[in-house]
Chain A
């Protein structure tokens, strides 16, 4: 862990201490805020926030992220199309959901899931594993 210039600890190693860019797709505004704060605290850069499917899909397809955090239910619609788009681009992601791992589409069974509500340390561990597995 490297201490970044702003004083936060950064999971970024090498690559000139570049902060990892994270996409948040979460329809609950208040929960989105929480994720934003937690990620900032953990030294990540919140590079995109989307609250709905179309917006999230567009970001996932066109913008570059190191990883993404996907709420499963976006105002009643499953976020699986975004998951597919991310998979296609090779962007690692984890689900956050109130349904638990059982609510996942079978196509994504076994994918990392963070159950709401979660601790900041749990988010940290999940992201670190996600990015490490990638390497």
Chain B
């Protein structure tokens, strides 16, 4: 039996001092370090050998000046750092040590890492001076786990080493009865086990899925029954206070020199931190996976090494099609020169935020994106690549373009209307002086009314009947009795509506001033029809005055005539015939309706 039952159990109050006594009496220097290389514990021999007492929390490589056997600096070959980095044990490493006094001694070092899933969580180093060796063999922890043959006279060494381990360790006899446990085991179990308890130090056990695990089915029980180490198992310990600790057990059977099973040792590694990290990583991974944004990572050469579903939705490529490919595959040829600049900034550790650019999808279409690129660092803080978050901003860009277009359109209309007003003004005030501010005003108001109708209809067109009524009513007091408006319902497009409004305004003003709407009896008949000829619908509109004073043709061409014969005719591709007949003015307009 390798590990003696008489060492099991101990009063808690004295455990630490007892440990220290045992540890300090070891003939070798022992140092336990955390994953970050900071010293957790060391014994008296360590202080003696290193020439000063290591301070807990201090980094091992700062506390102890170790050199290669040839006197050169260790650099990355510091055995503790190496064991932590690689998760591999370092055996019988020969080293030089410079003590603060200036004395140089030769050392033999053995380092055992504590690993979880290949990653080191700590290391225990044992050092002895060379060549005055008190014992021919420095026990490696491997020996404890049953590969070697621990010798009875080294029992206390083992116990002390076990005690000094930062992980929960306990031993049992061949029947699974607990014979020893260390303080870490008590901490993990949340209770002081009773000697004679079987299989495990824990109070209650559960499987990772949460179902209860009877103690006699625990990995330690399996290891003892099947006489083999059990690896890769995972379990959850429930403490009497109700808290739960996920852990990974390393149960290993122990045999005597005849190969007889004498017991087993088990180390329980608390993986709550790892679980938390895993949960966090899972959460982050699921956020990335279900993000609407495309999230992609690449290395410093611009090679894609991750690709989420958002990226697939945005760019059309699957992860299989992109991982391992250069990120430039997403860049339209004329934008490929952006990449060296981006990589350069990433190498400098800069973050690129909300960079608006264009990328190319699998189908060759271009998409407007807003890109945020951040450096990705490894555990050592070294920049190893970049994460890119791309958001589809095509919609926003489309809106921007639409808004710009609307503003341009508005500007165009305003300026054209002002130019029309300028023209009306010039036409009104030039010439014979028969027209003045009143006429100018009336023309502006007529133009504005026509605009009103169009605005109400969202510039979609206007009803001709309504339009004519609107133009004539303000000019003639007795529209109902003196103006007949006869024509089918007809919607005309904005251009035609504006043009006809102005034409009718001029005809009506003229009639009110000089024509059939001057006195009590005269009338106007406004009628229209639509006919199909030569493959297009043509509007025929007639303005016919009657009953007014005898009409004399005007001596010179006024604004109204010019407007009808030139502007309206050209605008509407119309034939306009304006006749000043003695019985009254007759105007015929024939225009395609398109």
Minimum distance in angstroms from B446 CB to a CB of chain A: 12
Chain B residues within an 8 Å CB radius of A118: 419
Query: Quick check: A30 and B423 within 8 Å, CB to CB?
Result: yes
In the bound complex, how far is the Cα of B571 from the Cα of A50, in angstroms? 9
In the bound complex, how far is the Cα of B341 from the Cα of A96, in angstroms? 44
Chain B residues within an 8 Å CB radius of A31: 416, 419-420, 423
Query: Quick check: A98 and B419 within 8 Å, CB to CB?
Result: yes
CB closest chain-B residue, reference A75:
B495
Minimum distance in angstroms from B26 CB to a CB of chain A: 86
Taking A98-B412, A98-B413, A103-B412 as contacts, is the C-beta distance between A36 and B566 under 8 angstroms? yes
In the bound complex, how far is the Cα of B144 from the Cα of A130, in angstroms? 101
Minimum distance in angstroms from A73 CB to a CB of chain B: 6
Query: Quick check: A37 and B427 within 8 Å, CB to CB?
Result: yes
Describe A's contact surface by its main secondary structure.
mixed
Minimum distance in angstroms from B501 CB to a CB of chain A: 12
Chain A residues within an 8 Å CB radius of B422: 34, 117
In the bound complex, how far is the Cα of B569 from the Cα of A36, in angstroms? 15
Contact of B566 among A29, A75, A99, A115 (CB under 8 A): A29
Query: Quick check: A32 and B566 within 8 Å, CB to CB?
Result: yes
Minimum distance in angstroms from B500 CB to a CB of chain A: 11
Query: Quick check: A115 and B567 within 8 Å, CB to CB?
Result: no
Chain B residues within an 8 Å CB radius of A117: 415, 418-419, 421-422
Chain A residues within an 8 Å CB radius of B424: 30
Query: Quick check: B416 and A28 within 8 Å, CB to CB?
Result: yes
A4 within 8 A of B: no
Which A108-129 residues have a C-beta within 8 angstroms of B?
Answer: 115-118
Query: Quick check: B412 and A34 within 8 Å, CB to CB?
Result: no
Minimum distance in angstroms from A78 CB to a CB of chain B: 12
Minimum distance in angstroms from B204 CB to a CB of chain A: 78
CB closest chain-B residue, reference A36:
B566
Query: Quick check: B563 and A37 within 8 Å, CB to CB?
Result: no
Taking A75-B495, A99-B408 as contacts, is the C-beta distance between A29 and B571 under 8 angstroms? yes
CB closest chain-B residue, reference A99:
B412
Query: Quick check: A34 and B423 within 8 Å, CB to CB?
Result: yes
Chain A residues within an 8 Å CB radius of B423: 30-31, 33-34
Chain B residues within an 8 Å CB radius of A52: 573
In the bound complex, how far is the Cα of B97 from the Cα of A33, in angstroms? 104
**Mask for B452-466, Cβ within 8 A of A = 1, else 0?**
000000000000000
A100 within 8 A of B: yes
Chain B residues within an 8 Å CB radius of A75: 495
In the bound complex, how far is the Cα of B567 from the Cα of A99, in angstroms? 22
Contact of B416 among A37, A51, A116 (CB under 8 A): A116
Query: Quick check: B430 and A34 within 8 Å, CB to CB?
Result: no
Query: Quick check: B412 and A33 within 8 Å, CB to CB?
Result: no
Counting residue pairs across A and B whose Cβ atoms lie within 8 Å, the total is 80
Taking A37-B427, A37-B430 as contacts, is the C-beta distance between A29 and B568 under 8 angstroms? yes
In the bound complex, how far is the Cα of B418 from the Cα of A30, in angstroms? 11
CB closest chain-A residue, reference B495:
A75
Chain B residues within an 8 Å CB radius of A32: 566-567, 570
| B411, B423, B430, B569: most-surrounded residue (chain A CB, <10 A) | B423
Query: Quick check: B571 and A33 within 8 Å, CB to CB?
Result: no
In the bound complex, how far is the Cα of B579 from the Cα of A60, in angstroms? 33
Contact of B563 among A29, A99, A100 (CB under 8 A): A29
Chain A residues within an 8 Å CB radius of B499: 29
| A34, A100, A115: most-surrounded residue (chain B CB, <10 A) | A34
CB closest chain-A residue, reference B421:
A117
Chain B residues within an 8 Å CB radius of A29: 499, 563, 566-571
**Mask for A29-64, Cβ within 8 A of B = 1, else 0?**
111111011000000000001111000000000000
In the bound complex, how far is the Cα of B294 from the Cα of A31, in angstroms? 53
| A30, A31, A51, A118: most-surrounded residue (chain B CB, <10 A) | A30
Which B423-472 residues have a C-beta within 8 angstroms of A?
Answer: 423-424, 426-427, 430
A10 within 8 A of B: no
CB closest chain-B residue, reference A103:
B408
B414 within 8 A of A: yes
Contact of B419 among A34, A51, A100, A102 (CB under 8 A): A34
A97 within 8 A of B: yes
Query: Quick check: A37 and B418 within 8 Å, CB to CB?
Result: no
Minimum distance in angstroms from A9 CB to a CB of chain B: 17
In the bound complex, how far is the Cα of B411 from the Cα of A98, in angstroms? 6
B502 within 8 A of A: yes
Chain A residues within an 8 Å CB radius of B418: 116-117
In the bound complex, how far is the Cα of B573 from the Cα of A52, in angstroms? 9
Minimum distance in angstroms from B578 CB to a CB of chain A: 15
Query: Quick check: B411 and A33 within 8 Å, CB to CB?
Result: no
Chain A residues within an 8 Å CB radius of B421: 117
In the bound complex, how far is the Cα of B426 from the Cα of A37, in angstroms? 9
> A-side interface residues toward B, CB under 8 Å?
27-34, 36-37, 49-52, 73, 75, 97-100, 102-103, 115-118
Would you give 13 A-B contacts (Cβ < 8 Å), ordered by A?
A28-B416, A28-B419, A28-B420, A29-B563, A30-B419, A30-B424, A33-B423, A37-B430, A51-B573, A99-B412, A103-B408, A116-B419, A117-B415
Q: Which 7 pairs show the lowest CB-CB distances between chains A and B? A: A29-B567, A98-B415, A34-B423, A29-B571, A98-B412, A116-B419, A117-B419
- Sample of 20 more A-B contacts, CB < 8 Å, known A31-B416, A31-B419, A51-B571: A27-B495, A27-B571, A28-B419, A28-B420, A29-B566, A29-B569, A29-B570, A30-B420, A30-B567, A31-B420, A33-B423, A33-B427, A33-B566, A34-B426, A50-B570, A51-B573, A75-B495, A115-B415, A116-B419, A117-B418
